[in-house]
Chain A
Amino acid sequence: MKDFIYQLALGIACTIIAIVLCTAFTFKGKDLHGSGIAIIVNKENPINDLTISEVKLYWLRKIKKRWPELNKNIKPADRKSKCPEQDTFYGKVLNMAASDVETYFIQKQYDSAEKPQDKFASDAAMIEFVASEPGAIGYVSKSAAATAEGIKVVLTVE
């Protein structure tokens, strides 16, 4: 019993030291910079307005995997790399870190062969995708959405 307690204490001590060391090098302020974005869907989609929580549920395909009235798969569109639009979308709509979003889609793909989100390098590429895919949902800067065709804005986020 004495041995057990000694070894347990040693294990706890080692783990705490390791956590403290790693934490010391990684606590940084979160980057909260972002810009106003528009959540866009294909113009054929009968949905006109969505709340932030609805966008989160649809984009993550959390409850529904198909648009109820459109009868098409929900196809979330994402940016390939970090950008102000993505920061705003992840931070204010999903309330998730970038690595957690990626983990979420890897997990869904791993569990049930669900296709992960499509990724695009620019607002223009994302608009082109959303305009061509009836089930797509994505996000772009408000200025890019204002002049685009084939899409409609269902929510704006500052």
Chain B
Amino acid sequence: MRKSLQVVVFLILAVCSAVIAQDTKVRFFGQPGFDLTENTKTKQAGSNFVGNNFVIFVTSQINERVSVLSETNFKLNFRDSSRSSFGVDIERLMVKYYVNDYLSLRFGRMYSPLGYWNTQYNLGLVLQPTIIRPRIIQAEHEGGLLPTRDGGLQIEGSNISSLRFSYKFLISNGLGRYGVRSASTNAQYDNTRYNSFAYTLNLMIEPIDNLKIFASGMYDEIKPGFRYRGFTPTSTLYAQLLNGGVAFMGADLKPEFIAEYYNISTKDSYFGNTSAKGGYVYAGYKLTDKIAPYAIFDYTDYKDFFVSSLNSFKLGFRYKFDANAVVKFEYEIGERVFASPTVTLVRDANGVPVFDANGNPQIILGRSLTYGGIYHGPRLQFAFAF
């Protein structure tokens, strides 16, 4: 029902924008792919057709200052044996109002202004330099930790002063958005049935053309009853994200370089202080207008969050038929470490469990690590737009 409604809303908006707008551009993105992975520890091998999504991207210049953008993702999951594993997501739906070069407003659902990669490369993989995005910036809804897209109001400006300073400030729903809370937890936390906003700031300078040095951060509070990372905190959870990096990328440049580091920390009464960190270093070089070999080292430490951590190295190349069709080939080798929570009862000298004043047993939360082995394999993607 919800999906149908999204499709209807999208179609209405697309038609309306086409009728109202002076200039409407529609693009379609697709990126079928294939990957073959083998784990040297478990000796398991998997081969999958992946990335079977199709994106409709519409922009309209309504007048000199107002433009609208919508991006709808139609997904077909080949890994799911169910025939109904077809989904529709409205990735972005926003209005942009341009005041001047130093001030623009965006309103609606958009990509969070975190770091560099997340603001530049998303579903239009014909633009992305690699087949898949680095693990640290995988979307929250795909098993990652970042709120890569969110609904809200963004104020931005660019090319300020000779340093070409730019800023983006987003006030958004954040991780504990209202729609996530289930009906049963609504009743339990009736007195806190509201959501606090998340605040995201991205600052960047471009001292020489195409060299971008940036830092971004997000602060969010997740109220009791809202699900986050698979559990429902019983007290307010504070989440903070910090990012920094440098990028030297441009359509007219031969060398390509991006390096980013993220630190995500949370604090709540149950798990206490936890943090996840990670980053990546990407380097490539355009040998010709068509061919660019590249390498990317990807690192995540998610042990505190009980999600698998990895070190991965990918070597690949892109072959660009033209701006609208790119083939990418990668060979990846990496290793995983799995973390799971452990609970230990506190016992006194006689081995009797210790209880607190409320009669609850005292516990020590810990974690156990399991080495997941080395995995490796090739990956192929054909990304196109028209």
Contacts and interface: CB of A to CB of B under 8 A. Distances in A.
B320 A94 contact: no
A98 B64 CA distance: 27
A111 B156 CA distance: 13
B352 to A, nearest CB: 46
A54 to B, nearest CB: 14
A32 interface: no
A113 B96 contact: yes
Contacts of B100: 66
Contacts of B124: 106, 110
Contacts of A112: 96
Contacts of A109: 25, 27, 59
B159 A100 contact: no
Contacts of B333: 4, 7-8, 11
Among B120, B164, B331, B332, max chain A CB count under 10 A is at B331
Contact of B159 (A64, A98, A106, A110): A64
A116 B27 CA distance: 12
A98 to B, nearest CB: 8
B202 interface: no
A107 B251 CA distance: 9
Interface in A92-109: 94-104, 106-107, 109
A7 B374 contact: yes
B89 interface: no
Interface residues of A, number: 42
A18 B323 CA distance: 21
A107 B59 contact: no
Contacts of A64: 101, 159
A115 B59 contact: yes
Contacts of B330: 15
Given A8-B313, A65-B98, A73-B64, A100 B252 contact: yes
Contacts of A49: none
Given A4-B335, A7-B376, A14-B378, A99 B323 contact: yes
Given A11-B331, A113-B59, A23 B25 contact: no
B167 interface: no
A96 B251 contact: yes
Contact of B251 (A27, A100, A110): A100
A62 to B, nearest CB: 8
Nearest to B320: A99
Given A94-B252, A102-B324, A3 B331 contact: no
B40 interface: yes
Interface stretch (B284-292, B300-308, B359-367): B284-292
Given A26-B319, A64-B159, A106-B126, 13 more contacts: A10-B376, A15-B315, A96-B251, A100-B252, A100-B289, A103-B251, A103-B323, A107-B251, A109-B27, A110-B122, A111-B120, A113-B94, A115-B61
4 nearest A-B residue pairs (beta carbon): A102-B323, A11-B331, A113-B69, A104-B251
Interface of B: 23, 25, 27, 40, 57, 59, 61, 64, 67-69, 94, 96, 98, 100-101, 119-120, 122, 124, 126-127, 159, 164, 251-252, 287-291, 293, 313, 315-317, 319-320, 322-324, 329-333, 335, 374, 376, 378, 385
